[in-house]
Amino acid sequence: MAVPGEAQAVSAMVLPNATLLEELLEKYMDEDGEWWIAKQRGKRAITDSDMQSILDLHNKLRGQVYPPASNMEYMVVWATSSRIGCAINLCHNMNIWGQIWPKAVYLVCNYSPKYECPAGCLDSKAKVIGSVHYEMQSSICKAAIHYGILDNEGGWVDVTRQGRKNYFIKSYRNGVQSIGKYQSANSFTVSKVTVQAITCETTVEQLCPFQKPASHCPRVYCPHNCMQANPHYARVIGTRIYSDISSICRAAVHAGVVRNQGGYVDVMPVDKRKVYVASFQNGIYSESSESL
């Protein structure tokens, strides 16, 4: 999710909430300011209160959009991201639907990353807080061992953010003693990473139809030579963010996530867009929303 797209819709509709969003992001606008200087590139996470305010505003504005959003779009991402939660970034010249926005501040959220755990985590000093639902400061890999989906040999873990929980219960499972905590905090759950082999024509609509609050799609493995697939049967609609009737694998090649040799792809459902932009990238032409 990128806030500039949402902010553009806000300014176009001249909603009174636009000033609130500007106030929230103003502190992050100056790249030379104290906040940016104090934060390393990988640690520019916004505060929980600011993130919640932005998400609340986002949900409120969605209810004021006409026509209302009804179906789904998705974003293809590299199968390597493991950070969970939201962070902000600054782009000096961002292209938003044909307009160049200087010094655009945008919010990036990842609620369901997949994480590769190394071997030997059972002996780690890292803490685990909770049972089933784990507090956000917990070690992902030790929580996965505690829950029973991994052993000490390591492996892939699916991580899903679950929002705030009022308390976390301690327990001893699979050689790991977790800690109890009787204070409200953000939480996550862990599950096994399922990998599904698909064809060049498979779409998100077929693989994991949209369900509220969000679909949790399996990791997919794309075959080779999807660039040569028939574009009438393996359509790509959009750029960076794609309609859910697009071919997952051809969209992944178009986005630069995988090459024509194929590979692993994660699919992240995001809110529907009114406009999908056509482009030519990595040897594939994508269609615009006019073709829908």
**Predicted confidence (pLDDT) per residue in 3-19, tens digit:** 223 333 222 333 344 45
96 and 128, same domain (yes or no): no
Boundary (domain end) residue, out of 154, 175, 192: 192
Any domain includes 202: yes
pTM of the model: 0.50
206 and 276, same domain (yes or no): yes
Q: Report the CATH number at residue 279.
A: 2.170.130.20
Q: Count of CB atoms within 10 A of residue 238's CB?
A: 25
223 and 152, same domain (yes or no): no
| Contact call for residues 180 and 132 (beta carbons, < 8 A) | no
Q: How far from each other are the two terminal CA atoms of the chain, in whole angstroms? A: 22
Residue type, 9: A
201 and 175, same domain (yes or no): no
266 and 222, same domain (yes or no): yes
Any domain includes 23: no
Domains: count for the chain: 3
CB contact set of 287 (below 8 Å; sequence gap of 6+):
235, 236, 237, 238, 276, 278
Boundary (domain end) residue, out of 83, 111, 139: 111
Grouping H, G, I as helix, E, B as strand and the rest as coil, residue 284 is strand
Angle of CA points 212, 77, 53, to nearest 5°: 50
Boundary (domain end) residue, out of 58, 88, 111: 111
Any domain includes 119: yes
Q: Count of CB atoms within 10 A of residue 248's CB?
A: 28
Instruction: Report pLDDT digits (tens) over 156-206.
Output: 888 888 889 999 999 999 999 999 999 999 999 998 887 888 999 999 888
| Containing structural domain, residue 152 | 114-192
